[in-house]
Amino acid sequence: MVGLNQLVLVCLAYVVFLFGIAFLAERAARQGRGARFLRSPVVYTLSLSIYCTAWTFYGAVGYAARSGLEYLTIYLGPSLVMIGWWWILRRLVSIGRSQRVTSIADLISARYGKSNVLAIVVTVMAVIGVTPYIALQLQSVVLSLSIFAAPDLRGTDADSTFNAVSAAFWVATGLALFTVLFGTRNLNVHERHHGIVIAVAVEAVVKLIALLAVGVFVVWGLAGGVGETLARIDASPIGAWDMQGSRWITLTMLSAAAFLCLPRMFQVMVVENDEESHLGIASWAFPAYLMLISLFVMPIAVVGLDLLPAGSNPDLFVLSLPLSQNQNGLAMLSFLGGFSSATSMVIVATLALSTMVSNHVVMPVWLAMRREGATQSGDVRNVVILARRVSILFIIALGFFYYRASGGSGALAAIGTISFGGVAQFLPVLLGGIFWRGATRSGALAGLAVGFTLWVFTMLLPGLGPGVVLSQPVFDNGLFGLGLLRPQALFGIEGVDPTVHAALWSLSLNSFAFVLVSLLTFPAPVERLQGAQFVNVVDHTGANRVWTASLAGSEDLMIMTQRILGAEDAQAFFRSMARTQGVQGHLPEPTPEFIQALERELAGSVGAATAHAMVSQIVGGTSVSVQDLLAVADESAELLEYSSQLEQKSRELALTAGQLRRANEKLTQLSLQKDAFLSQISHELRTPMTSIRSFSEILRDADSLSETEKNRYASIIHSETLRLTRLLNDLLDLSVLENGQVSLHLTQAPLDEVLQRAVTTALAGQEGKLWVDISHENPDVMLSTDLDRLVQVFINLITNAQKYCLSDDPQLRISAAMTAQGLTIDFKDNGAGIAADEQAVIFEKFYRVSGSQGEGAGLGLAICQEIMARLGGGISYLPDSGGAVFRVSLPPEASVAQQGPAVLAAQK
Amino acid sequence: MGKQPVAKRPVFLERKSYRARRMMDAVRLLPFLGLALWMAPLMWPLPDPQGQGGIAMSTALMYLFGVWCGLAILGWVLWRHTRPSDSKRDAED
């Protein structure tokens, strides 16, 4: 028989050994050595064996002794999940890596829009669900200790020197110490807890070897071989397949769900995962591990039932069988195996829960209490670590008090199943979150609330037994006396196994509420964004949020990061980011990419929601939501429109500027023209004035002038005065026409008559040298216009022909024709015509054809042009027609056929 | 998938990538096979109230653990044939 003190010594030695291993692994990881081993798939697979707790090590045998093969369901579910890694675990691990998830609460909160409420709910539920489980571990360690103290191997009548509660206390203290030491060493969860993972892996090997050793001893040492063992099994009270189908299915599913949802499993499976490829190996290696660990459970149970006295606690057969055969070494190994199972579970579960509690409960509260922000005061890093340590102590204390309160009673299996049922409530929300984009935060909250309430009412409280919380009448008659609300016969459906009943109702109504509320509610923008990221995680992993970081000073971020990650890590991170950006020095530009990377880095330490809150404090709370993005898109669309408007305006401006420039050129030209006109006109005026003055002076001063001479000089003065008058008349006429002050006197006359009048007037008093021929296609055309002005134009043209046609036999042909554009009248002489370079300027004022004689001032054609413009027609020179040809055109309304006076009348 | 024209790709490689895809299909379907096999005992007869008849516990044990071993070995074989390094090495051959 091994003494208790001896056992405690061995225990302490084993713990020191574990400490040593964990310490070495931490040191190796820090120095970058042994990464191949520390991050090998073997270690990953072994760390998964955290699933096999003391419940497996001791409880499975007890379970088998009580209920036959049912204990297997607890391992079949996880095996199926691992074998089906491609479906769920692959996604979870991808999400965990891309979103830097720190716990299952973090994952669920991140998926549903980084909701802290959801994180708190999940955390509280996890703590409530897992606390009995931790108590269970303490209970099993204390039980196993007590059996060494108890003389009768029944584990019921403990030695009076053995104080179970104080033993539990010391075990709890030791575990808390270990977890605090190795679990809160480094803050960033993504640096992995190498020490703990290695310790867990070692313990996985120890418990497997211990159980296999006991199994081998039982089968070959006690039963006498495989055949005999099988025969014994068949002959035992549990010798036939006697299984309720509903329990078989339900427990398998429940364990599969718990495997995914247990915080500690999530920790080792997703958070501590180094490479996704490890999953592929674990997918067959872990089922094999589970198979080996449950292989000898049935033989041990059967042989224990056979050999040990009736009334022995079957939960302790693994220990009591070797002890009864005086195999003290084996018993010691077995004890260490059980101790390993319990401690590794407590350490990892506490670590996972403390991360959740500190990230989702303590940190938000702390941040809310210090509104001024993380940069102002205090060392966040210390606060986080302190929060985590306090959380660890709190959770272990909770487990201890639960153990004390429950008095260490009840079969291990029952407590385990209740715990499984609690955490399984996360499953609908978890699966919905990674497969269904329509899942919303409200739906998740509703599902969790319904599922959790039902679990408490149908599983947790009844599990404590009648009279503890729920009284016997409640069991019999239902809550508030309502028959529909009986905890083990909900809605009046009786006769179902309590576990199946609870699991069925809680999970189905949980899923129903989750789906229904999700369908009815509309997710917030961040939720939709995260939902798309989570569901499509395998297809792509992209940026999830954009910070507008222009306001965030890199320095402020640096100060905050230092306080969370520690100065060294923060500086290394900033330096590497600066290097990637190609920035000199150690402060990177606060680009959105950098801020996002920083937030993820921080999320690894304090959780997504808290990291988000902290970064937003510094950046000024300007995280861009989808709504903001939409607003920005709208704004940029407006800007685009505005800029196109600007562009158009600037085009218009350029156009106007061009017009102005042209107008200015024209003005300059006009000014030059005016100057030219003035000098021209003064010249034109001076010439006659000069001769008038000279001749009038002669007349005044000369005494001896003959009458003839006097007469001649007076005639010259007279003619010059006439010329002056004519010139001034012309100028006045032109000025009136140009200013548009002229009023037209519309009269009617046939074209022929008008032309005759013009010819007659023009040729009157002249030597009848010019022969004029008038021909027109339609002699009946009536003209309706200012005829006096038109005649003036005609006279001018005829006079010009008279003056400038230098032919020996000057002829002028006047021909009129009706066209679609109106009436055209051509004046064609048989002279030399006008030189090409002069054609463009003959209509200018004061322009006279070079080499011409005569007294014209050069205003005639200019006046003609103005008149025709007033009349709505025009006058032009037709080049290359043999002689000078001027065409006068009149608008259609000015000429009406004879037969159409009615139309004319109607127009008036 | 396997629809590239034969002329463009050697028949050998085509067959190989086709095989790899079917292997992944097998990986995906394996849990359903396991579930079906492990739920099969639900169809077994239960012993009568006197404890007579039914399936012997040893048979049940051997069946369930046999399936377990089979699944683990099958998982290992499939992993051997689908791991990325393996296919890379094969592609170089």
User: Which single residue is written with the structure tokens 């329509």?
Assistant: A438
pLDDT band (50, 70, 90) for residue A427: very high
- The shortest C-alpha distance from B81 to chain A (Å) reads 11
Provide the 3-class DSSP secondary structure of residue A540.
coil
pLDDT at A628 over 60: no
Q: Note whether B54 contacts A240, CB cutoff 8 Å.
A: yes
Give the strands of the sheet with A771-776, arranged side by side.
Answer: A771-776, A811-819, A822-829, A885-890, A874-878
Q: What is the DSSP string of A786-805?
A: -HHHHHHHHHHHHHHHHHH-
What's the DSSP call for residue A240?
A: B
Task: Give the model's pLDDT for residue A541.
Answer: 43
Nearest CA in chain B to A88: B28
Tokens of B78: 């499939």
Contacts of B31 in chain A (CB under 8 A): 80-81, 83-84, 87
Contacts of A290 in chain B (CB under 8 A): 68
| Interface residues of chain A, partner chain B, Cβ below 8 Å | 68-69, 72, 76, 79-81, 83-84, 86-87, 230-231, 233-234, 236, 238-243, 245, 248-249, 252, 277, 280-281, 283-285, 287-288, 290-291, 295, 298
A185 closest CA partner among A612, A615, A608, A605: A605
- The shortest C-alpha distance from B29 to chain A (Å) reads 8
Q: Using CA atoms in the order A413, A419, A424, A426, what is the torsion angle rounded to 10 degrees?
A: -170
Q: Note whether B83 contacts A239, CB cutoff 8 Å.
A: no
Which one of B35, B51, B71 has the shortest CB-CB distance to A287? B71
Alpha helices in A494-566 (DSSP H): 498-520, 525-535, 554-565
Asked whether the beta carbons of A874 and A861 are under 8 A apart, the reply is: no
pLDDT at A817 over 80: yes
Contacts of A240 in chain B (CB under 8 A): 47, 51, 53-57
Highest-scoring range by mean pLDDT, A170-174, A612-616, A779-783: A170-174
Tokens of A110: 């991140």
pLDDT band (50, 70, 90) for residue A451: very high
pLDDT band (50, 70, 90) for residue A834: confident
Q: Note whether B39 contacts A295, CB cutoff 8 Å.
A: no
- The shortest C-alpha distance from B50 to chain A (Å) reads 12
pLDDT band (50, 70, 90) for residue A677: confident
| Total domain count, chain B | 1
Q: Note whether A233 contacts B34, CB cutoff 8 Å.
A: no
- The shortest C-alpha distance from A284 to chain B (Å) reads 5
Contacts of B72 in chain A (CB under 8 A): 284-285, 287-288, 291
Contacts of A281 in chain B (CB under 8 A): 79
Residues recorded for chain A: 908
For residues B46 and A386, what is the distance between their CA atoms, to the nearest angstrom? Answer: 57
Asked whether the beta carbons of A146 and A154 are under 8 A apart, the reply is: no
Beta pairing class for A489-490 and A485-486: antiparallel
For residues A562 and A574, what is the distance between their CA atoms, to the nearest angstrom? Answer: 10
Residue with the bigger pLDDT between A98 and A519: it is A519
Task: Give the model's pLDDT for residue A447.
Answer: 94
Which one of A80, A86, A280 has the shortest CB-CB distance to B28? A86
Asked whether the beta carbons of A212 and A291 are under 8 A apart, the reply is: no
Contacts of A285 in chain B (CB under 8 A): 72, 76
pLDDT at B72 over 90: yes
User: Which single residue is written with the structure tokens 């995914």?
Assistant: A260
Phi, psi dihedrals of residue A165, rounded to the nearest 5°: -65, -45
Which one of A83, A234, A287 has the shortest CB-CB distance to B56? A234
What's the DSSP call for residue A239?
A: -
| Within-domain flag for B78 | yes
Compute CA A676 distance to the chain's CA centroid, rounded to the nearest angstrom. 73
Amino acid at A820: A
- List the single best residue of A253, A284, A293 to mutate versus B (max B Cβ within 10 A): A284
| Within-domain flag for B8 | no
- List the single best residue of B23, B42, B48, B71 to mutate versus A (max A Cβ within 10 A): B71
Beta pairing class for A895-896 and A782-785: antiparallel
Contacts of A284 in chain B (CB under 8 A): 71-76, 78-79
Q: Note whether B76 contacts A239, CB cutoff 8 Å.
A: no
What's the DSSP call for residue A479?
A: G
Contacts of B69 in chain A (CB under 8 A): 291
Residue A875's H or E segment, with its range, is: strand A874-878
- List the single best residue of B43, B58, B63 to mutate versus A (max A Cβ within 10 A): B58
Query: What pLDDT digit, counting tens, does each position of A374-410 carry?
Result: 444 456 677 778 888 888 899 999 888 888 877 655 5
Residue A624's H or E segment, with its range, is: strand A623-624
Provide the 3-class DSSP secondary structure of residue A169.
helix
Cα diameter, chain A: 184
Asked whether the beta carbons of A604 and A558 are under 8 A apart, the reply is: no
Query: What pLDDT digit, counting tens, does each position of A688-730 carry?
Result: 888 888 888 888 888 787 888 888 888 888 888 888 888 888 8
Q: Note whether B41 contacts A248, CB cutoff 8 Å.
A: yes
Q: What is the DSSP string of A275-335?
A: -THHHHHHHHHHHHHHHHHHHTHHHHHHHHHHHSPTT--GGGHHHHHHHHTT-HHHHHHHH
Task: Give the model's pLDDT for residue B74.
Answer: 92
- List the single best residue of A67, A76, A81, A83 to mutate versus B (max B Cβ within 10 A): A83
For residues A102 and A114, what is the distance between their CA atoms, to the nearest angstrom? Answer: 13
Task: Give the model's pLDDT for residue A467.
Answer: 65
pLDDT band (50, 70, 90) for residue A904: very low
Instruction: Return the beta strands (E) in A725-864 as ranges.
Output: 747-750, 771-776, 782-785, 811-819, 822-829
pLDDT at A632 over 60: no
For CA atoms B50, B55, B58, B64, the dihedral sign is negative
Mean residue pLDDT across chain A: 80
pLDDT at A159 over 60: no
Asked whether the beta carbons of A246 and A497 are under 8 A apart, the reply is: yes
Predicted-complex ipTM score: 0.83
| Interface residues of chain B, partner chain A, Cβ below 8 Å | 24, 27-28, 30-32, 34-35, 38-39, 41-42, 44, 46-47, 51, 53-62, 64-65, 68-69, 71-76, 78-79, 82-84
| Within-domain flag for B75 | yes
Contacts of B42 in chain A (CB under 8 A): 243, 245, 248-249
- What's the mean pLDDT in A350-376? 75
Q: Is A54 exposed, middle or buried (0-12, 13-18, 19+ CB in 10 A)?
A: buried
Q: Nearest 5 degrees, angle CA A166-CA A167-CA A169?
A: 60
What's the DSSP call for residue A491?
A: T
Contacts of A69 in chain B (CB under 8 A): 57, 60-61, 64
Phi, psi dihedrals of residue A833, rounded to the nearest 5°: 80, -170
Asked whether the beta carbons of A54 and A399 are under 8 A apart, the reply is: no
Phi, psi dihedrals of residue A875, rounded to the nearest 5°: -135, 135
Q: Note whether B72 contacts A284, CB cutoff 8 Å.
A: yes
Query: What angle in degrees, to the nearest 10, is found between the helix axes of A592-606 and A380-406?
Result: 30
Question: What is the residue range of B78's domain?
Answer: 57-84
Nearest CA in chain B to A247: B42
| Within-domain flag for B19 | no
Task: Give the model's pLDDT for residue A643.
Answer: 84
Q: Note whether B42 contacts A245, CB cutoff 8 Å.
A: yes
Highest-scoring range by mean pLDDT, A429-438, A577-586, A829-838, A891-900: A429-438
Task: Give the model's pLDDT for residue B5.
Answer: 45
pLDDT band (50, 70, 90) for residue A372: low
